[in-house]
Each structure stands twice: as structure tokens, then as C-alpha cells.
Amino acid sequence: MVRIALFLTIALTVVTLGFAGLMGQPGPMQAEADLNGFQRPLFALYFATSIEGLAFIAGSENAPLREHLMHLQALDRWFPLAYGGMAIAFFFALGMRGAKLAWLGLALAAATIGADWAENEVANRILADLDAGADPTERLDAMWGHTWIKWGAIAGYAAVLAMIMALARRRLLAVFPALAAFGVGASYFSSADPAVFNWANQLLVPFMLTFPVAAVMYLRAKDESAEGDDESAGQGEA
């Protein structure tokens, strides 16, 4: 079961990267749009706090970019299963090897999937409101809440991964998860300041790649060495 979970981690990494590539494609009129300082229109949507923050996708003149976001939202129905599933598979493997902290990481990764779906539901309603010429202002508080629950859970399991790797004496693999957790925290305390969030978002790629790299290392490690690492992680958690 452990080896299967580690191989599944690697397979879901490939799927995650594929989704990330598809969702990173620029939309029509994106280069000219005022994204409120964010690098991608989805982030400008998720972190909007007023109707003015949605001006870049409001009105008939912005319909092409709005339709592009609807397409991305359709993809985002499956994206959480890829990146969340990757984390769940890895934490399951380490949990089965005795790293008690891994079960906390697994729970946080599972919570991320639910929070992402809830975020998507509100985002879809906002886009539908704008498409119908209605005012979606009353939905923005819910969007903000679901978005930060999602990012909070991501920061949480990033911190858990960093602790497990550090306790397992794989300290180099703890660096990017720790930085990612710090970056998300800094973004929250800055109220999603675009400059801070754009910086933090850049840390997510090396953080997410920590999962397959660590999975390969565990697959290649001798059974005695891997078990020793995980026992250290489990004792550190206790």
C-alpha cells in the first residue's frame, strides 16, 4: 500500500502539472485588463472585495475574458482532486510508515479539496451574476471566506510537510514547504496585497514538487533507512 501511494503521488503530480498548464493559459483581453495588481484573472476574481474589483470582467465589453474564466472554473472542478490527491497519497504513505504528523497533513489536504469546491461554487455564481448584468457584491464576503479557508489549509499541510521532512532528517526538502506556508501567512496578514500574494504564489510550484521528489527518495531508500526516518518523524510529532 505504501509503495502504491508513493507511485500515485508521482502520477498525480503529472496530472497536477497538466492542469496547472491548462489553467495558466492567458485569456482574451487579459494583457489589457486591470487585474488589480494580480498576475492572473482568477486571483483577481477570488480576492475581489468590491464590485469595482470585478470591473475587469463586468459588462458586455469584457464578455470574452469572463467566458474564459468560466472555462477555467470548469477545469477547476477537477484540479483540486489532482493537487489535493497528490498530497493525500503522500501523507497516507508516510502515515502508514509511522509518521503520525502525516495524518494531520492528510486531513488538511482533504479539507483543501472541499474548500476549493466551495470557492468555485461562489465564483461561478458571481460570474453568472455578471453575465446577467446583476450585482454580485453580496457574494464577495463568502468568496473571501472560502478562499482563505482553502489557502489556510494549503499553508497548514505545507507546514506539516516541512516539519515531517525536518524531523526525518531530510531538511533540504523542508525548505520550500516552510517558505510556502510563510508566504501564504504573509498574504493573509497583508489582506491579499497583490505584491505579497504574487510572491507567495511563486513558491507554490517548488513546494508542490517536494511531494514527488520526496516520494522518489522514499521509494529508493532502503526499508531500514525509510522506517528510521518515519519513526523519527512520528516521535517528533508526539
Kindly tell me if the per-residue pLDDT of 14 is higher than 90. Answer: yes
Mean pLDDT over 19-23 rounds to 92
* Residue 207: closest CA among 156, 168, 161: 161
Q: Which three cell numbers stand for residue 157?
A: 499541510
Among the ranges given (30-39, 130-139, 160-169, 191-200), the one the predictor scored with the smallest mean pLDDT: 30-39
pTM: 0.90
The pLDDT tens digits of the residues spanning 46-91 come to 999 999 999 999 999 999 999 999 999 999 999 999 999 999 999 9
Cell numbers 489589457 correspond to 32
What percent of the chain shows pLDDT beyond 90?
84
Q: Which helix (H) or strand (E) holds 213?
A: helix 204-220
Per-residue pLDDT at 29: 76
Q: Which three cell numbers stand for residue 233?
A: 518523524
19: amino acid identity, one letter? F
State the pLDDT confidence band at 222, using cuts at 50, 70 and 90.
Answer: low
